[in-house]
Structure 1
Amino acid sequence: MSAGLLDGRVAVVTGSGRGLGRAYAQALAAAGAAVVVNDVDADAAAETVWLITAAGGRAVAVVAPVGPSATADLLVQTAQETYGRLDIMVTNAGVLRDRVLWKTDDDDFDLVVETHLRGTFSCAKAAAAVMREQGEGGRIIVIGSPAGQFGSFGQTAYSAVKAGIVAFARTWSLELARAGITVNAVIPTALTAMTATMPIYQEVYARFLDGDPLPAQVRQAHALGGPEDVAPLVVWLASERSAEVTGQAIGIGGDKLTLYSHPAELMAEYADGGWTAETIEDAWLSRFGAHAQPSGASFPPLD
């Protein structure tokens, strides 16, 4: 039961007009936090605010595109002016422009980078400045993706920025530790309108919208539930109970909770005086190649 877990706390959730962002905002509010809701869609943002306030929570909307420092400053300023402080920043806002490499144009690539990577940077930077000034610690929760962990065909820009966001979390956890500010990456998986664009999940998503329970295979082997299944991790990471957890990439979806490893050396060898192309090839064919890892996530077929 998370009611009261975040009493007195103030959170910003970017991209919280719908989907996963809305679920995060609602769950944080239900746990007691006041929430600054953000989206580029004014109607969607207003609906999230209404859902929170109708349930007895506190929320206010800021309609602005994430990416520019001016938006980040506005979000933090709104939290301070409306609720007196800022304790939690959740950088969820994002866009998709799925294209294979040779079909990805500059504008699509730049938009994905601006929203995800620059948006995470600018919002975390603004939040960190205020949290350090307050002197009471804080929580920065960034949002990654399995695409950033494994790679994903057709997601050149998205995979790159999501990998970068996890690197942000690892770096900022070091830089902000003395200030008592934790930084963690959530790697969510959920059935959303975006997931429904994948042919394997179209029928499952349609039944899900009709209210049918999801099969255990979907919730476990595919780690897919609703957005509400992801939100408890965000609430826990935002709370004092996770004060010793920082610099981690934690996945959640359906019934599955995952702790991802940091990149690590699988094996190493040394050659006195250095390597040649020929000795590298020999090492690869005889020893290294057996340890090579495939790209992309894999799932069992649905029954």
Structure 2
Amino acid sequence: MDLSGKVAVVTGSGRGLGFAYATALAGAGAAVVVNDVDEGAAQHAVDEIRGSGGTAVAEIAAVGTSEAADQLVNRAVNEFGRLDVMVTNAGILRDRVLWKMTDEDFDAVIGVHLRGTFTCARAAARRMREQGEGGRIITACSPAGQRGNFGQTNYAAAKAGIAAMTRTWAMELAKAKITANALVPVAATDMTRTIPAFAPYIEALEQRGEPLPDWLRAEEGFGTAEDVAGLVVYLASDASADVNGQCIGIGGDKLALWSHPDVVASAYRKGGWSADAIAESWTGTVGSEPQTYGIPAPVVPAS
């Protein structure tokens, strides 16, 4: 996959998934603006990319504000002359159950994930439309945003919002040949390390170099950050020109397409529905097969 001549911004790319994305994009020939709040991590990422023959610069900014988004787009244009790809990866966690979550916990996560994605995508869309040559907006979603997850009111809300925004942008930007798609990655990162079911395998991978078990990679679709990066390169390329408005899952050995919310059951009653009528018919009509929710824990195969 050749991305020569393309310019990408990857937010939150000093480490983890973002670093894997930036490295893969640069490896395919793109010039990359590496963004992070940690100057040392961002510069280390740039050094690694340059050491492998790639082209990258670091831009330190905390995504969320319009000023930060404009700063990133301007750095790409001033340094490389254009912008073709915006990857909105930056994120934080403030996990707590509903009754313990503070306003600050909620606002911090919404600010980085949801507002940060909005402001960066808007700044990118403005530049790409001005260039008149199309472009790619690649957002970061999560299974938590698709199904909910215990202790993640703020994170799940942000990721669900990102999915909805991405579908909206796919419609709004299609005429300008700018596509908008969402990643739904499942990988060993600082964020997934907080999930008890995954923690032992991530520890074994990072501390002892033990590969993730085959069942985890295949059945659970859980892998490394590098396993996800190929999807970013594909979505950044000309080969994905007809892919738009999709939520695409990837992890380990698994590539998947997530469904969009849709009506799964309907019932009709002449004159409308009273509360008593709903109660009487619920289990025999629309409530006969209620939808599941939450992210199932990995099932370890019996030895």
Is TM (by shorter chain) over 0.5?
yes
* Deviation for aligned residue 1:29: 0.3
Superposed CA deviations along residues 56-81 of structure 1, whole A, max 9, x for unmatched, are 11101111100000000000000000
Q: Is the 8 A contact 1:266 1:291 kept in 2?
A: no
Q: What does residue 221 of structure 2 align with?
A: 223
Give secondary structure in 2 for the equivalent of 1:20.
helix
- Looking at structure 2, the residues matched to 102 and 295 of structure 1 have their Cα atoms a distance apart, in angstroms, of 20
2: CA distance, partners of 1:212 / 1:194: 19
Q: 2:194 aligns with which of 197, 209, 220?
A: 197
Is contact 2:267–2:285 with CA below 8 Å preserved after alignment? no
Identity of aligned residues (%): 58
The match for 1:66 among 63, 66, 79 is 63
Deviates most, 269-278 or 206-215:
206-215
How large is the RMSD of aligned CA atoms in angstroms? Answer: 0.9
| Equivalent AA in structure 1 for residue 286 of structure 2 | F
User: Which among 18, 21, 35 is matched to residue 21 of structure 1?
Assistant: 18
Question: Is the counterpart of residue 42 in structure 1 residue 39 in structure 2?
Answer: yes
State the distance in 2 between where 1:83 and 1:179 align. Answer: 21
Q: Distance in 2 between matches of 1:100 and 1:200?
A: 18
1:194 Cα offset (Å) = 2.2
Indicate the residue corresponding to 1:181 in structure 2.
Answer: 178
The code of the aligned residue for 1:79 comes to A
- Equivalent of residue 275 in structure 2, options 261, 274, 277: 277
Matched letter for residue 208 of structure 1 = L
User: Structure 1 stretch 40-49 or stretch 205-214: which is displaced more?
Assistant: 205-214
Shift of 1:287: 2.1
Please identify, of 216-225 and 28-37, the stretch whose mean Cα deviation from structure 2 is larger.
Answer: 216-225
1:27/1:232 contact within 8 Å kept: yes
Q: Is the 8 A contact 2:24 2:229 kept in 1?
A: yes
TM-score (norm 2): 0.97
| Secondary structure in structure 1 of the residue aligned to 2:109 | helix
> Which residue of 2 is the match for residue 110 of structure 1?
107
TM-score by length of 1: 0.97
Decide which moves more: 223-232 or 194-203. 194-203
Distance (whole Å) between structure 2 residues aligned to residue 193 and residue 276 of structure 1: 49
- C-alpha deviations, 1:124-168, integer Å up to 9, x for none? 000000000000000000000000000000001000000000001
Cα distance in 2, alignment partners of residues 12 and 130 from structure 1: 12
- Please state whether the residue corresponding to 1:141 is helix, strand or coil: strand
- Helix, strand or coil at the partner of 2:137: strand
Please give the secondary structure, in 2, of the residue aligned with 1:38: strand
Q: Which runs of 4+ in 1 moved over 4 A?
A: none
Q: Structure 1: any 5+ residue segments left out of the alignment? A: none
Q: Check whether the contact 1:149–1:163 (CA below 8 A) recurs between aligned residues.
A: yes
Aligned residue pairs total 300
- Partner Cα distance (1:301, 1:94) in 2: 28
User: Structure 1: how far apart are the matches of 2:203 and 2:289?
Assistant: 40
- Deviation digits for residues 71-117 of structure 1 (CA, Å, limit 9, x no counterpart): 00000000000000000000000110001111111111111111000
Partner of 1:90: 87
In structure 2, what is the Cα distance between the partners aligned to 1:298 and 1:202?
15
1:219-259 deviation per Cα after TM superposition (whole angstroms, max 9, x unaligned): 01221111000000000000000000000000000001110
Alpha-carbon displacement from aligned partner over 1:265-297 (angstroms, at most 9, x marks no partner): 011111111110011112212222222112112
Q: CA deviation at 1:300?
A: 4.1
Counterpart residue type for residue 165 of structure 2: F
Does the CA contact (< 8 Å) of 1:222 and 1:299 recur in 2? no
Which residue, 133, 143, 146 being the options, matches 1:146?
A: 143
